Amino acid sequence: MLRAFPVADTVRFFDEIGVRLHEEAGGKLFPVTSRARDVLEALLREARRVGAQLDAGQRVLEIDRVAGQFRIVTPTQEVIASHLVLATGGQALPRSGSDGAGYAFAARLGHTIVPATPALAPLVLDAADAVHAALSGVAHDVELSLRVDGTIAMRLAGALLWTHFGISGPVALNASRHWLRAQLEGRAAALTANFYPGRQFDAVDDEWQARARSAPRASVHATLSTIVPASVAASLLRRLEIDGAITLAHLAREDRRRMARALVEWPLPVVASRGYTFAEATAGGVALAEIDAATMRSRVCPGLSIVGEVLDVDGRIGGFNFQWAWSSGFVAGRALAKGAARA
């Protein structure tokens, strides 16, 4: 599906409707004006140009299959259609309208729903057992490791943002769906941060020994502040009960090794996410096995196509979920157009 309408086609499409894009770090694409409204207005103009009719302010209350057609019921009308595309989104940002209603519609039409969880959601840490409260607003690079049932399930590197409730930032958002899926499956999940991304305990311990030899009079806090922001260094040392003013020459071997271990496996006591209200995507949804990948048509309900986030697809932060929406929508639209042409 992604090959049928890749990123280059997305860029070309938006350029054709008057939205030029520029690429930022990590491959992220934004309108050159940096205005989301420009994207919205261009899409509305294009919809009018091709003759699409938008019926806004009409919440769909139910969808039934009657005599081979679909009956779509709103508070003010009933619409009968031979073909229906379900593009309701998942449950993320429910104030936008994606409140999970699409799952009920799909289930009523015969589809299997993979249980949903938030994805790309900030994570809430145990207030009694974390350092986040004093670090709200501080960001720096880390590597997060998720252990599921005691085994490393994934490692992700990127920017972490400490907040008043816990952690956010790209790396935390990307890790959230993995922690939440493990919780949904009833598996033990534990998240740790490595402040030396890509390095392990022995290498970090060796580095601190080398630093003690080369700069014995440097304080522990000043040295750690070259690795992480000074406020983070102070909070970590306070939690470890290590005097940051002590010099490297006088740092006890046991404290040095305890600190090195903590710096590569700092526990992040996640208790929850901030939920769908703050999530950028939804994990779970309509089972993919029930969808024809070449057309996005349902394998269980004739005349039905399903696209976008209501399907069991979610990607990491950086525009991947948008691309999935564009690509799956294109595939469905193309298939419907070909069917109409044959008819």
For the stretch 62-98, pLDDT in tens is: 999 999 999 999 999 999 999 999 999 999 999 888 9
Give start-end residues of each CATH 3.50.50.60 domain in the chain: 55-118+279-342
Please give the DSSP secondary-structure letter assigned to residue 311: B
Q: What string of DSSP letters covers 160-227?
A: EEE-SSEEESHHHHHHHHHHHHHHHTT--EEEEEESSTT--HHHHHHHHHHHHHH-TTSBHHHHHTTT
Beta-bridge partners for 305: 85, 297
Report how far apart, in Å, the C-alpha atoms of 239 and of each of 55, 98, 223, 234, 244 are.
Answer: 57, 41, 17, 9, 11
How many whole angstroms separate alpha carbon 48 and alpha carbon 33? Answer: 23
Q: Can you identify the CATH homologous superfamily of domain 55-118+279-342?
A: FAD/NAD(P)-binding domain (3.50.50.60)
Q: Which of 127-131, 200-204, 302-306 has the lowest mean pLDDT?
A: 127-131
39 in Cβ contact with 31 (< 8 Å): yes
How many whole angstroms separate alpha carbon 90 and alpha carbon 88? Answer: 7
pLDDT of amino acid 28: 83
How many whole angstroms separate alpha carbon 47 and alpha carbon 220? Answer: 62
Query: Which tokens go with 93?
Result: 């940002």
Would the pLDDT of 184 be above 70? Answer: yes
Alpha-helix runs per DSSP H in 88-144? 101-108
Would the pLDDT of 343 be above 70? Answer: no
What percentage of the chain has pLDDT greater than the value 90?
A: 91
pLDDT of amino acid 208: 98
Listed residue (212, 225, 213, 223) closest to 251, CA to CA: 212
Would the pLDDT of 305 be above 70? Answer: yes
pLDDT of amino acid 340: 79
Report how far apart, in Å, the C-alpha atoms of 133 and of each of 92, 141, 188, 231 are.
Answer: 26, 18, 25, 12
Which residue type sits at 21? L
Which residue type sits at 10? T
| Average pLDDT in the chain | 95
For the stretch 189-217, pLDDT in tens is: 999 999 999 999 999 999 999 999 999 99
Would the pLDDT of 24 be above 90? Answer: no
70 in Cβ contact with 84 (< 8 Å): yes
